[in-house]
């Protein structure tokens, strides 16, 4: 599954990888290059998971949404691992922000990982593309719907899909993808109603 876990690979819990990342992080600043180099083989799922948790925070949801579009689109086109433009990947970032995201994510992941586990494997390449499409569309929703708290639900769905993708849980992934596409369908329906109402008002 590209960067997802196959049956022959040992699954390392996302919470474990992120805690190790937290403990190894540079004291002052880090770069996305450093981050990508420490995410092991599941870099697509892990980078999406981190960015999704960051996107829950109102102040940085737009930036996280923009960054989420990069790995999502690369999953769709079949890249083996995510690659960010050099001007982004080499830009120094405050380590305290990374640690804050991980410290918020790990306790939640420890609880969710009791439910998410490898089961009902899905077709690797098709799964990668569908997860990428859903993440890209939900990331656009983060950018295009700037209402208070409107960032929370799509960010949570992206995080759930990323975790299920990492753990190879076809059941939770199917539910997460369904939730994402239902959310998007409701948004489209609401938008069409608004456009129809505006058009009727001008007639």
pLDDT attached to residue 171: 95
Q: For residue 198, what pLDDT band results from cuts at 50, 70 and 90?
A: low
Over residues 123-164, the pLDDT tens digits come to 989 999 999 999 999 999 888 876 777 889 999 999 999 999
Round the average pLDDT of the chain to a whole number and report it. 87
Q: Give dist(CA 179, CA 172) in Å, integer.
A: 10
pTM for the structure as a whole: 0.86
Here the contacts of 61-65 (C-beta below 8 Å, separation 24 or greater) are 61/142, 61/151, 61/155, 62/142, 62/143, 62/146, 64/142, 64/155, 65/139, 65/140, 65/142, 65/143, 65/151
pLDDT attached to residue 194: 75
């Amino acid at each position: 599954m590209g960067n997802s876990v196959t049956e022959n690979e040992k699954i390392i819990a996302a919470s474990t990888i992120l805690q190790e990342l937290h403990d190894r992080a540079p004291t002052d600043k880090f770069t996305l290059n450093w981050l990508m180099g420490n995410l092991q083989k599941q870099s697509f799922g892990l980078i999406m998971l981190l960015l999704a948790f960051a996107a829950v925070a109102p102040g940085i949801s737009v930036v996280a949404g923009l960054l989420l579009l990069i790995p999502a689109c690369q999953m769709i086109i079949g890249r083996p691992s995510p690659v960010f433009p050099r001007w982004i990947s080499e830009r120094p970032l405050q380590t305290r922000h990374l640690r804050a995201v991980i410290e918020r994510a790990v306790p939640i992941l420890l609880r969710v990982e009791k439910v998410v586990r490898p089961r009902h494997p899905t077709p690797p390449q098709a799964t990668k593309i569908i997860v990428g499409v859903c993440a890209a569309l939900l990331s656009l929703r983060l950018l295009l719907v700037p209402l208070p708290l409107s960032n929370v639900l799509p960010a949570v769905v992206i995080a759930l899909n990323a975790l299920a993708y990492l753990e190879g849980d076809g059941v939770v992934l199917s539910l997460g993808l369904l939730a994402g596409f239902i959310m998007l369908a409701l948004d489209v329906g609401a938008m069409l109603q608004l456009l129809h109402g505006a058009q009727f008002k001008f007639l």
